[in-house]
Amino acid sequence: MPTMPQEQPAPSPAQPGQFQQMAVSFGVDTQRYDQARPAYPDALVARILAETPGTDVLDVGCGTGIAGRQFQAAGCTVLGVEPDARMADFARARGLRVEVATFEAWQPGDRMFDAVVAAQSWHWVDPVTGAAKAASVLRPGGRLAIFGHVYEPPAEVAEPFAAAYRRAAPDSPLSGQPARRPLELYQAGYAKFADQIRETEQFGDPEQWRFDWQQSYTRDQWLELLPTTGGLTRLRADQLAEILDAVGAAIDSLGGSFTMDYTTLAATAARADTP
C-alpha cells in the first residue's frame, strides 16, 4: 500500500509510542470506518467454519464488527474484544456482543470458543502472549485464524499519494515508505504470525491461505476509505485535505475510478487435541 493505507504488520522498534497511538486512533469516525472498509471473502469465512468444531467465535480487535457480522450471518455466536470503546459501542449498536479490553488484558473466565479470529488486527496484539492466550480459550480442535487484506492501488494512484504524504507529513515515521510494496513483504509478515503460533507448541502445523479478488472504486469511494487508514487517522485537517486533493486528482486523471487488486492473507492453525 502506498505509505499508509495498509496498516503495518508490526511496529517499528524505534517508534513504539507512535504505533500504540495509531492503534487507538481508528475510532475517530466509526461510521466512515464501517462503511468504507471492505468485508472479507465469503470463501475465507466458509473455510474457517468448515475446519472448526462448532460455531462459538471470539473476534479479537473486532473494531466496528465488519468480520464479526459476517460470522454472525454464517450462523455463529460471536463475542468481540475491542480496546477502543467507540468502536465497541458502534459494533454493539449493530448487534455484536463486545467487551472492551485489549486481548492481553481481557478476562475470559471459563469461557471457551471454537474459533478465535483476528481480522486486520493481530499486528496490534503482543506477539509473545497472543497465540498462547488464543490457545487457552480454544476448545481442542478449535481454530485460530489471523487474516487481513493487502491492497495496493495502481501506481497512478499510489505514487501521487506517497508524494503528497511526504509533503504534508514529513515528520511522520511512515512518510519514507515506498509508494507500493510487494506482496512478498506481507506474506513474510503472515509467515511470522505462523511461526509465533508454532512456537506455542499448542497448535497443529500452521497453514497460510490466500484469497485474490478485485473491487472497483470511484473517486469518492476511495477518498472515503483513505481517512480510515492508520497513517491518516491522526493527521490535521489541512494535512489530510492536501493528501486527499492529490489522490482525487490522480483518480480523475484515470477517468474517475480504478480497480483495486486485493489479496486476503491468513495464518491459521487448529488447537491441539490435548487440552
Note whether residue 131 is domain-resident.
Answer: yes
Note whether residue 220 is domain-resident.
Answer: no
Note whether residue 33 is domain-resident.
Answer: yes
pLDDT score for 113:
98
Note whether residue 166 is domain-resident.
Answer: no
What predicted TM-score, i.e. pTM, was given to this entire model? 0.89
Note whether residue 189 is domain-resident.
Answer: yes
> How many domains are contained in the chain?
1
List for the chain the helix, strand, coil content (%; round to 5).
Answer: 40, 25, 35
What is the distance between the alpha carbons of residues 26 and 56, in angstroms, rounded to a whole number? Answer: 27
Per the CB < 8 A criterion, the answer to whether 189 and 127 are in contact is: no
Question: What three-state secondary structure class fits 230?
Answer: coil
DSSP annotation of 272 reads: P
What is the distance between the alpha carbons of residues 119 and 85, in angstroms, rounded to a whole number? Answer: 18
Cβ of 160: how many Cβ atoms within 10 Å? Answer: 22
Q: Which residues contact 149 (CB under 8 A, 6 or more apart)?
A: 6, 38, 40, 120, 262, 263, 264
At 208, which CATH number? 3.40.50.150
pLDDT tens, per residue, the chain with 275 residues: 333 344 444 433 334 444 445 445 555 679 999 999 999 999 999 999 999 999 999 999 999 999 999 999 999 999 999 999 999 999 999 999 999 999 999 999 999 999 999 999 999 999 889 999 999 999 999 999 999 999 989 999 999 999 999 999 998 877 888 888 899 999 999 999 999 999 999 999 999 999 999 999 999 999 999 998 878 888 899 999 999 999 999 999 999 999 999 999 999 999 997 65
pLDDT score for 28:
65
Q: Please give the radius of gyration of the chain, using alpha carbons only, rounded to the nearest integer.
A: 18
C-alpha cell at 172: 511522520
pLDDT score for 274:
61
